[in-house]
Structure 1
């Protein structure tokens, strides 16, 4: 009974902090709004062309800048991902892409769509990322969608902080971490993204282990891997085409 009472107090405190002071807003972050879309079979190129046209007309600058990606591995291969960002929830609330926006999507893009999938909001975690030099000509991305054990996010955060320090020590490569803003109980809690200019980069061996152990001590890599296994339930590794422009 005492434990339940303490839990209730913590929950109430959290709710007060979230909603009791709604007049105070925080927009000092970057987020990506994404929606999964299946194009009609045989009309994929037409779909790409029309979405690119739509982005150029109505989503050509932040915070309303639009991108088109596509999953090209795994069970969701072929599915497109329409991305908008970097943005905040305030930006989404105040979005005004201009006259003709809805009409263009409904008349030019919708006829080429087979169906919509999930809508998700991913917040960039700058502290856990290493991205000093954005990959300007990025064409592909390797994504790890991670299902964390409940209550172990704090351990994940500590591990990723150490890995980010190792990347900084090494001084090469890139790694972006995003937190899913809504828990759909689908194993998509956090995502790690490595950007690439071409798929050939997947054949390049550039291990982070030496830099990690230089920062954290000899044998620390194996210790990290053991803890990683303890806190993760599964990883869905995917390859995406990104920033499709033609």
Structure 2
């Protein structure tokens, strides 16, 4: 189990109003450019995002995947937005779809375009201050069928440890709106970091957990976590500002 475990989340950006009955969602699309057409792909993606995804709920950010099976692919992320906003998203009549097909999609491989939607869990996430996205460690977990409540209860316990012992840490928790037993990506936890040296630091979660819940609690947590999950996956995403429609600046909304 990685020592980073939950010093963590998928992009907590721009909060939706606390008065709204809707919740925040992010749309993610995996894009893999054809090896011989990366320059055309990047040029087209940058222009498309600047034109159609430069602000509001349709604002888009682009990340480059630096490890694992998807190394060299890009993740296009739109949001956060309420589901209702999709009814007015840029579409065919504004030239959005034609522009995407002509200047982005044609330079990607056949397996590109896998999309997913992730719900931001505000109660279990902590964004204590404004920050600028640079690099992210993205952990996704496969929760066993029928074990969702138990898994989220364990997440809550880790959240409480960080809230008490490391109140300045920034992390977020996201759940897949349309999970698949085949894909096994139910929960996403992302850590934001500036320098790669952060990956080699000891974040001391085991001792902090034992301090809060008693000696041996972390070992029990690990056993419980393995009982409710089928394993996970870790990727490093690097924010690519020149390809994105909006900046990496994250302004944290004050809670009422």
**TM-score in terms of structure 2 length:** 0.78
In structure 1, what is the equivalent of residue 26 of structure 2? 32
In the alignment, which of 131, 135, 149 is matched to residue 135 of structure 1? 131
Cα 1:134/1:224, change in 2 over 3 Å: farther
In the alignment, which of 163, 167, 173 is matched to residue 162 of structure 2? 167
In structure 2, what is the equivalent of residue 57 of structure 1? 51
**TM-score in terms of structure 1 length:** 0.81
Query: Contact (CA 8 Å) 1:135, 1:197: kept in 2 or not?
Result: no
Deviation, 1:54, is: 1.5
Is residue 2:105 matched to residue 1:110? yes
Q: Give the Cα separation in 2 of the matches to 1:240 and 1:232.
A: 23
Between 1 and 2, higher relative CO (CA 8 Å, sep ≥ 6) is seen in 2
Query: Contact (CA 8 Å) 1:64, 1:84: kept in 2 or not?
Result: yes
In structure 2, what is the equivalent of residue 21 of structure 1? none
- Give the secondary-structure state (helix, strand or coil) at the position aligned to 2:221: helix
Deviation, 1:103, is: 3.5
**Aligned-pair Cα RMSD in Å:** 2.0
Alignment of 1:155-234 (within 5 A): 155-169=150-164, 170-185=166-181, 186-234=183-231
In structure 1, what is the equivalent of residue 8 of structure 2? none
Query: Contact (CA 8 Å) 1:135, 1:196: kept in 2 or not?
Result: no
Could you list the runs of 5+ residues in structure 2 that have no partner in the other structure? 1-19, 244-256
Cα 1:73/1:43, change in 2 over 3 Å: same
Note the alpha carbon deviations across 1:163-200, whole angstroms, 9 max, x for none: 11111121232221110011221111111111112322
Note the alpha carbon deviations across 1:100-158, whole angstroms, 9 max, x for none: 4333323322332223232110101112222222531x222111111111111111111
Is residue 2:232 matched to residue 1:235? yes
Cα 1:45/1:210, change in 2 over 3 Å: farther
- Give the secondary-structure state (helix, strand or coil) at the position aligned to 2:116: strand
Note the alpha carbon deviations across 1:42-82, whole angstroms, 9 max, x for none: 32243223212221221111210011112221112112111
Cα 1:71/1:58, change in 2 over 3 Å: same
